[in-house]
Chains A and B, each alone.
Chain A
Amino acid sequence: MMDLTLTQSFSLIALNGQRSLEMTVPKKVALRCMAAAVIVELYMENGFTHSQTQLTLSQEVLDQSRSLPYRDVIVKSLARKNESIGDLRNWLRRASSLPASTLKKLESAVAQSLRNEGILEEIPHILGSDLYFHTAGVSIKEYRTHPKYYTSITEFLRADILEDGEAADETVAMLWLLRESGCLLDFFSRNEMEQVSAKMIALYKGNALAQVLYATQIRRGMELGIKQYFRMKKKAIKTPVGSGLNFVFPVLERSQAIFIDTEKMFPNPTARLHDVRTRLESKGHIVNVLKDGDVPIIKVDNVIYDAVPHAVYGRVPIHGVRLIPKCPF
């Protein structure tokens, strides 16, 4: 397994399951965080020269960034104002507020580098298997991270933060990036989140990098409003009644619930699941059945779903299965 930079590791998590052709809100937030990840990566590799509280990109970084095109995009965009940017927090703010055109260039540079390594690919979006999209012939593409790398990155992060001992700087930065991009809840259960919060508070008190990162927010305008809405929803779903609602409306819509119509009304769950699996695999998705039963749990391209038998009622009832994204832990 090859070593990846912080930006590459974070991008593999943040881009997985996101639409590759359209600029959705979750993807825009992810791209802002990826731009900030480039700055953190350079900072960790001593790519800045310090003078009091001011940071300036070293000449070496300016020369070498060409070898990594995704760094080049950010460095070129910010180098013009190199003198006046200030401390690390200002660099992060400036990088994360770059215009959408630069974010698109960053996305294509990062995605290309990961595609060249064979660890990121574009596949038909899972929404394309939904009854309404499938029958309308709408084609949507999404990114998919190689499952081996996705699991390795997320499991290393979980081990490094949940275990006793000092966390690596990459983990400190990754937690912040995941928090800012709204991905953190995908990897930790509610109980684990309490441990993670305690660890992040301890890091904030004792780790210089965490002190800067954890006090910095990457949010803007409309996105901030959406975050606030999700926060309100998160509070609501902590109640028993709210947990029921969460089954229907996932906490953060980075993944979507979809309805897959089956060819007929099957007499048993196994035949129904087989039909759904065939549909998904015909669209290029990797499907693993984690648990059988009346409501099976399946994993489609790194995202876990409850496959709930369901029917849509129009002039005639259409039987099928609704896939509802599920927290894996």
Chain B
Amino acid sequence: MSRQRSMEAILASDYVSIGELVRLTESRYSTLKHYTEEGMLPYEQEEQNLTRRYKREETVARIQQIKEWKAQGLSIPQIKEELRAN
């Protein structure tokens, strides 16, 4: 049996799944999936069909940054440019 991790366990972990990122950042799954497919959120995947793992601190900070840029009115291509420049 594999149980859903508690918030405490997630916050103590180095790596998180996309579902856990949803809980941490209060974002939509489809949004984070889109960011991942656009290459804006780097991840690690040991083998195909295994869970994608994201570095918790880096990815949460990046999602917050993307949200701020979106609030400032930047489009996704512009945000990608910003991420590349940084």
Using CB atoms and an 8 Å cutoff, list the residues of chain A in contact with chain B: 1-3, 44, 148, 151-152, 155-156, 158-160, 162-171, 208-209
Contacts and interface: CB of A to CB of B under 8 A. Distances in A.
B72 interface: no
A159 B18 contact: yes
Interface centre among B26, B27, B29, B33 (most CB of A within 10 A): B29
A221 B23 CA distance: 39
A44 B51 contact: no
24 contacts: A1-B23, A3-B8, A148-B26, A151-B26, A151-B28, A152-B26, A155-B19, A155-B22, A155-B27, A155-B29, A156-B20, A156-B23, A158-B30, A159-B21, A159-B32, A160-B17, A160-B19, A163-B19, A165-B17, A165-B49, A165-B52, A168-B2, A168-B4, A169-B2
A160 B3 CA distance: 12
A160 B29 CA distance: 9
A159 B3 contact: no
B12 interface: no
A37 to B, nearest CB: 14
Contacts of B85: none
Contacts of A152: 22-23, 26
Nearest to B49: A164
A50 to B, nearest CB: 14
B48 interface: yes
B22 A156 contact: yes
Contact of A169 (B4, B19, B28, B49): B4
B76 interface: no
A158 B31 CA distance: 12
A165 B50 contact: yes
Given A155-B27, A166-B51, A168-B3, 14 more contacts: A1-B23, A3-B6, A44-B3, A151-B28, A152-B26, A155-B19, A155-B29, A159-B19, A159-B22, A160-B19, A163-B52, A165-B50, A167-B2, A168-B4
* Main DSSP-derived SS at the B contact region: loop
Contacts of B19: 155-156, 159-160, 163
Contacts of B6: 3
Most buried by B among A160, A167, A170, A208: A160
A166 B50 CA distance: 7
A151 B33 CA distance: 16
A3 B22 CA distance: 14
Contacts of A171: 4
Nearest to A209: B1
Closest 5 A/B residue pairs (Cβ): A165-B51, A159-B19, A159-B29, A168-B4, A170-B4
A151 B26 CA distance: 8
B22 A163 contact: no
Given A156-B23, A159-B22, A163-B52, A3 B7 contact: yes
B48 A164 contact: yes
Nearest to B29: A159
A162 B29 contact: yes
Interface in B33-56: 33, 45, 48-52
Contact of A163 (B2, B27, B51): B51
A103 to B, nearest CB: 26
A44 B2 CA distance: 10
A148 B27 CA distance: 10
B26 A163 contact: no
Contacts of B22: 152, 155-156, 159
